[in-house]
Chain A
Amino acid sequence: MITVSGLRKAYGDVVALDGVDLHVGKGEIFGVLGRSGAGKSTLLRCVNLLERPDEGVVTVDGRELTALGPADLRRARRRIGMIHQHFALLSSRTVAGNVAFPLEVMGVGRAARARRVAEMLDLVGLADRAGAYPAQLSGGQKQRVGIARALAAEPSVLLSDEATSALDPATTQSILALLRRLNRELGLTILLITHEMDVIKAVCDSAAIMSAGRITEAGPIPDLLAKPGSRLAAELFPLPPAEPGTVTVTLAADQTLLSRLARAYDVEVALAGGAVEPVAGVPAGRLRLRITGAGTAAALADLRERGLLVEEDA
């Protein structure tokens, strides 16, 4: 649905994007992680060409945006919704007026517009605040207006730059649940940027990690977790410092094997740290174990055989 290749963008001496390739499949929720200044926002803003890349090709929904003239680009942008980190609502318009804006741009008639606005406000649970001005809303409500506005024109792709980073955990959860629902019900493809691991855990199917203008890791989350030395795995499930004699086990599928180890082999299994929780719909996590006893080697071999990533800590 979104394909980006060979993207480069420099601001003077600062190279914000240094050859980025990215593919987001249809109906996927794709998360981009990375330190501040890694180039995440620049990447997102290159997808709808708010920022012109110096080099590279951007294709969205089968259209090569980088090859379009201004009028065609404007038309293509109407199919791409965008949620902004700081809401970017029109303060002179009411909630309903803000949601109506993209419909006005598309030339939707007054009656159809009013119907669609009401529908969208229902969807985000703000029907009762239609006449309020943004200044009268809370942060979470503003962000929901932003989402309603981004989706009003029925885009096939949604871009989201830190949509939840200004919100409290409960509000974040409700926004994420909403995004998940829209993804399921409308088949909406979502490319989102975040620095919150919880966002990745809660909604993303795939993820990429950016650092210094490059993508260092990308792919479906279970695949990334199963890769040795994965930074995503380390970021999603931070562990206490490794000690000699411990092993780090990463799981990304339904696994109930650990308790069985102790029974099947002649070992003691002590838990030194870690967590398991559902990620992209499957239980995933990293555990730091201290396995002792005569059957240790056999037990580790068993785990590896079952497809778990086992790293023996130095």
Chain B
Amino acid sequence: MTWSEMSPLLWEATGQTAVMVGWSTLFTVLFGLPLGVCLAGTDRGGLFPAPAVRRVLGLIVNVGRSLPFIVLMIAVIPLTRVLTGTTIGTTAAVVPLTIGAVPFFARLVETALREVGRDVVQAAEAMGAGRVRIVTRVLLPEALPGLVAGLTVTVVTLISYSAMAGVIGGGGLGDLAVRYGYQRFETTLMVVTVVVLVVVVQLAQTLGDAVARRLSHR
């Protein structure tokens, strides 16, 4: 295969990966951040302790995290149909990707929020701040570097999950490597695809690290 033959394939696959990872990252933050706040907040000694709620949330998150992504992808097909009207393609892949990443990200959010000192939270309480203000003005800003680091890990995980999206016709770089490299013995294309994947992951990690460092004033 020549470069001019590979180039359009690579561009298309990279675009599909970007679409899948981009949208699922957005939705993961949208759902995972509040879930993480609830996990941290409902704990004993948290801002709004609720042991029963926490146990239920914890169970759901753990189930979500213990399912292999490839199984999850098949299992949520009915939900995918309801949400996107289709069960195959790049858009459809966003649903299982999001569902797979939300529990993972939520745990990272929980950990990052726990890192915020209890004394800082209590200082805010002593100043008469309410819970909403404490979450939005104390916990989240204080945990921001940790949240960004968690988001970076989540994006990298999503990139690797998205490589499996070929199973439901999502396309993307992983799918390209499997279809051409494994099934058609186009070793060159496979190697190039892998290199592109490595570069993309490296870029995401480097960018995330830089932002986290920039935000940290510790």
A residues neighboring B (CB under 8 Å): 48, 50, 74-78, 80, 82, 84, 86, 88-93, 101-102, 104-106, 133-135, 149, 153
Which of B3-11, B60-68, B119-127, B166-174 participates in binding chain A? B119-127
Set of chain A residues within 8 Å of B45, measured between Cβ atoms: none
What are 22 residue pairs bridging A and B, where the CB atoms are less than 8 Å apart in the complex?
A50-B122, A50-B126, A74-B128, A74-B129, A78-B127, A82-B123, A82-B126, A82-B127, A84-B123, A88-B117, A88-B122, A90-B138, A91-B217, A92-B144, A101-B127, A101-B129, A102-B128, A105-B124, A105-B127, A134-B217, A135-B218, A153-B127
Number of A-B contacts (CB under 8 A): 63
Q: Beyond A84-B119, A88-B119, A93-B141, is A77–B133 a contact (Cβ under 8 Å)?
A: no
A77 engages B128 (CB within 8 Å): yes
User: Once the chains are docked, how many angstroms separate the CA of A105 from the CA of B136?
Assistant: 12
The DSSP consensus for interface residues of chain B is helix
Q: Which of B128, B130, B218 contacts A91 (CB 8 A)?
A: B218
Interface positions of B from 128 to 143, Cβ below 8 Å from A: 128-130, 133, 137-138, 141-142
Flag B38-72 by CB within 8 Å of A: 1 or 0 each: 00000000000000000000000000000000000
Whole-angstrom distance between the Cβ of A117 and the nearest chain B Cβ: 14
Q: Beyond A74-B129, A133-B217, A135-B218, is A90–B119 a contact (Cβ under 8 Å)?
A: no
Set of chain A residues within 8 Å of B124, measured between Cβ atoms: 101, 105
B interface residue count range (under 10 / 10 to 19 / 20 to 34 / 35 or more): 20 to 34
Set of chain A residues within 8 Å of B217, measured between Cβ atoms: 91-92, 133-135
Whole-angstrom distance between the Cβ of B61 and the nearest chain A Cβ: 27
User: Once the chains are docked, how many angstroms separate the CA of A70 from the CA of B123?
Assistant: 16
B142 engages A91 (CB within 8 Å): yes
User: Once the chains are docked, how many angstroms separate the CA of A36 from the CA of B218?
Assistant: 30
Please name the residue on chain B nearest to A73 by beta carbon: B128
Set of chain B residues within 8 Å of A50, measured between Cβ atoms: 122, 125-126
Whole-angstrom distance between the Cβ of B164 and the nearest chain A Cβ: 37
Set of chain B residues within 8 Å of A91, measured between Cβ atoms: 120, 142, 217-218
Please name the residue on chain B nearest to A153 by beta carbon: B127
Whole-angstrom distance between the Cβ of A142 and the nearest chain B Cβ: 12
Please name the residue on chain B nearest to A76 by beta carbon: B128
Set of chain A residues within 8 Å of B122, measured between Cβ atoms: 50, 84, 88
User: Once the chains are docked, how many angstroms separate the CA of A153 from the CA of B218?
Assistant: 26
A105 engages B126 (CB within 8 Å): no
A88 engages B141 (CB within 8 Å): no
Q: Beyond A74-B129, A105-B129, is A88–B137 a contact (Cβ under 8 Å)?
A: no
Whole-angstrom distance between the Cβ of B117 and the nearest chain A Cβ: 7
